[in-house]
Structure formats: structure tokens, C-alpha cells
């Protein structure tokens, strides 16, 4: 929705100026806010979660982490909150204040410009609401700031909105795998011509840069995940949950590194296994002692007509592998934050494919970058 802070994990030394230039500045533009506000799946999930569960907001104190345009703070006030603190790290806070005033809730909503880790509130809150989810849930690391807010400012009986989250992966088929390989081959052919012409016409041999250029382009075309809105019929096997998060109890250490052993059975007949699709869902359940009257789900799973701006992350495998219905895959999934930029992710899939008879089909290990 917006941005709240540097999202820095414990003991990470991240320059805030660099972090702002690389990440936060994007959220200071209205065009970016408009993209998120135009996502109907996202908007309706939060709207319904708030207004179908007014008992969580009426007469309560609310903290909106990364308020962005301020819409969640405005809805919280309209649902009956007695006070809403709307924290935003960028100059978007100025626009949020204007919208709060325009919508007549300035007596309830206080917009605070600053990072969540640095600001101080005058009181504890009953509800923390935030749209913190990035691509494949955890890209951007904004959840760190939500956890910081929870640990500092949430009352012992307080509620998190959303309350739970899950990450999913599934085997997919996609024509993109062929196109990306074609694009990579063309790029390398172009480099070869460039090296020849530079030496012929200018007398400089660029050949010693071929290996680093190859590594760079291979990472870009063949090892970096892609944003895509998959159609459900592109999912060729049973999806599996790789991580479940309880936002009331999770810690930063719980999400610094993820590891899961999963399996999936191929459900499509005689098709190509082209890689994996990854997505997430979040739920608004309240808490055990104070549950939601109407539980709401926001899902970014492949859909025919309910795509979101998050889409899915697609991890393409080249060459693709021919599989049949009933084939089984066992996958060891590992995800870590990038050492160069804590907001980006690195993912590894170690996969073993077996035919329905139990005969080994193929094994592979592949690393991807979510950038």
C-alpha cells in the first residue's frame, strides 16, 4: 500500500539513503499508488475485511503501517475507529493527509511521515493493519516493519490485519520458456558480432569480456524469475504450501530463510513441465480470542479473470521436461534474502521427478533470483 521503513532485519547494516533510492522512492509516486488502488481483488479484500468486521474497529485505536494513499486508514475511521495512526515513510504522506481531510476523517486519522522503526506513538493500539505483501509475498521485506510495529505498539490482546499468510508453488507449463531462450541466444549472437566488429573496425579485442557478459545475460534471461498472470490451465500439478505465517507470532528470523520439502503429482496428461509458479494468499481471521465474524481471503493464485497486480512469480526451467499424468515430483525448496540487497530474494529448487511406476525420470537443481 505504501512504505513504512527500511525493513531491516536484526544486525543488518543497511544505508537508509541507498534503501530509499532503491525502494521507497517508487511509492512516493501517485502512478504507483494508482496501480495498487486499481487492483479490485486487493481493494475488495481489504474493504470487506474491515467493513464486515466492524467490531474489530469500532471504538478502537488502529495503526496503519505503510499507509501510502491513506485508504486503509480512511476505511478504518469510517468503520468506527476512535483513532488511527497512519505511518508513511515517503512524501506520499502529504497526499494521504489531503485525502484524509477531503474525506472528513482528519479528526480521527493522524498521518505520520517517518519510518516505522523510528517513530514514536503516544499509546498502544488495538489493531495493526497493513498491505505489506510483495511479489511472492516476501519480496521487499516490508513485513519486517510490520513485525517491528507489532512488537512495539500492539496491545497484548490486539489484532493483526491480515492475520495469516501462505506461500504456494506448483509445476507449470509456459511458452515463455522458449521465448526467453530465443531472446538469450539472440543477445549472445549480437555480442559475438559486436566483438568481431569492435576488433575489425576499432582494433580493440573485447573477447575477454565474453564470459562476464554471458554470466550477466544468463542470469537475466534464464535465472531471474518473471512476473506473469498465469491461467489456471497452465498449472499442471497439485499446488503445495511452502510457508505458513501467523502474523501475530511470526518473527523476522522465521522469514529470513525458508526451507520446505514438498511433493506434487502431475495432473495434466502428456505435457511439458516448464518450471514453477509461485504465489500467496493472506487471510483476515482476527485472533482466537476475538475472531473475525466474516473471514476474508485475498489470493493471488492463477485465475481466469481475477488477476492481481502481484500476479505470480514464474521460475522457468530450460530445457523443459516431458511429463505425464500421475508422475510425481519431490522438491526441496530454499529461499534466502540476497546478500547484495535484503529486499530481493534467491530461490533454489532441488527436484526429483519419477514416473507413476516409480521409475526415475530426471533430477535437477536450479537457482533463481527474484529481483
Q: How, if at all, do strands 257-265 and 226-228 pair? A: unpaired
For residue 105, CA distances in Å to 99, 127, 129, 188, 207 come to: 9, 18, 17, 58, 64
* List 117, 140, 304, 352, catalytic entry: 140
Grid coordinates 506448483 are at which residue?
Answer: 170
Is residue 140 part of the annotated active site? The answer reads: yes
CA dihedral 78, 79, 84, 87 (to 10 degrees): -80
- Return the closest-CA partner of residue 136 out of 318, 276, 265: 276
**Residue 122 buriedness (CB in 10 A; 0-12 / 13-18 / 19+):** exposed
Strands 271-287 and 164-172, bridge-based pairing: antiparallel
How far is C-alpha 77 from the chain's CA centre?
A: 27
Give the E-state strand segments of 149-256 in sequence order. 154-161, 164-172, 226-228, 240-246
Among residues 131, 269, 346, 352, the one annotated as catalytic is: 131
- DSSP reduced 3-state for 47: helix
244 catalytic residue (yes or no):
no
**What are the distances in angstroms from CA 80 to CA 54, 63, 73, 84, 259?**
7, 14, 11, 10, 41
Alpha carbons 279 and 282: distance in angstroms, whole number: 11
Active site (catalytic) residues: 131, 140
Amino acid at each position: 500500500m505504501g512504505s513504512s521503513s527500511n525493513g531491516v532485519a536484526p544486525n543488518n547494516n543497511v544505508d537508509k539513503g541507498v534503501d530509499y533510492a532503491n525502494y521507497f522512492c517508487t511509492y512516493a509516486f501517485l502512478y504507483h499508488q494508482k496501480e495498487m488502488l486499481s487492483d479490485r481483488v486487493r481493494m475488495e479484500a481489504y474493504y470487506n475485511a474491515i467493513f464486515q468486521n466492524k467490531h474489530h474497529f469500532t471504538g478502537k485505536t488502529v495503526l496503519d503501517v505503510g499507509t501510502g494513499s491513506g485508504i486503509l486508514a480512511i476505511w478504518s475511521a469510517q468503520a468506527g475507529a476512535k483513532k488511527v495512526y497512519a505511518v508513511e515513510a515517503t512524501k506520499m504522506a502529504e497526499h494521504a493527509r489531503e485525502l484524509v481531510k477531503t474525506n472528513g476523517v482528519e479528526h480521527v486519522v493522524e498521518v505520520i511521515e517517518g519510518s516505522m522503526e523510528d517513530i514514536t506513538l503516544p499509546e498502544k493500539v488495538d489493531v495493526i493493519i497493513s498491505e505489506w505483501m510483495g511479489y511472492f509475498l516476501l519480496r521487499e521485506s516490508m513485513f519486517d516493519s510490520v513485525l517491528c510495529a507489532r512488537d512495539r505498539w500492539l496491545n497484548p490482546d490486539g489484532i493483526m490485519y491480515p492475520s495469516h499468510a501462505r506461500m504456494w508453488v506448483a509445476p507449470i507449463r509456459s511458452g515463455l520458456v522458449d521465448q526467453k531462450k530465443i531472446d538469450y541466444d539472440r543477445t549472445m549472437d549480437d555480442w559475438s558480432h559486436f566483438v568481431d566488429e569492435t576488433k575489425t573496425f576499432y582494433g580493440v579485442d573485447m573477447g575477454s569480456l565474453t564470459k562476464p557478459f554471458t554470466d550477466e545475460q544468463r542470469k537475466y534471461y534464464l535465472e531471474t524469475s518473471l512476473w506473469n498472470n498465469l491461467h489456471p490451465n497452465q498449472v499442471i500439478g497439485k499446488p503445495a504450501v511452502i510457508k505458513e505465517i501467523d502474523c501475530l507470532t511470526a518473527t523476522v528470523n522465521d522469514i529470513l530463510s525458508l526451507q520446505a520439502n514438498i511433493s506434487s503429482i502431475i495432473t495434466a496428461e502428456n505435457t511439458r513441465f516448464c518450471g514453477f509458479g509461485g504465489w500467496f494468499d493472506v487471510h483476515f481471521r482476527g485472533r482466537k480470542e476475538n475472531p473475525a465474524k466474516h473471514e476474508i481471503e485475498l489470493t493471488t493464485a492463477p485465475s481466469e479473470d481475477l488477476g492481481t497486480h502481484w500476479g505470480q512469480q514464474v521460475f522457468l526451467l530450460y530445457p523443459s521436461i516431458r511429463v505425464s499424468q500421475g508422475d510425481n515430483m519431490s522438491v526441496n525448496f530454499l529461499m534466502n534474502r540476497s546478500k547484495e540487497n535484503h529486499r530481493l530474494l534467491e530461490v533454489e529448487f532441488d527436484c526429483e521427478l519419477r514416473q507413476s511406476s516409480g521409475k526415475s525420470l530426471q533430477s535437477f537443481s536450479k537457482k533463481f533470483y527474484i529481483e
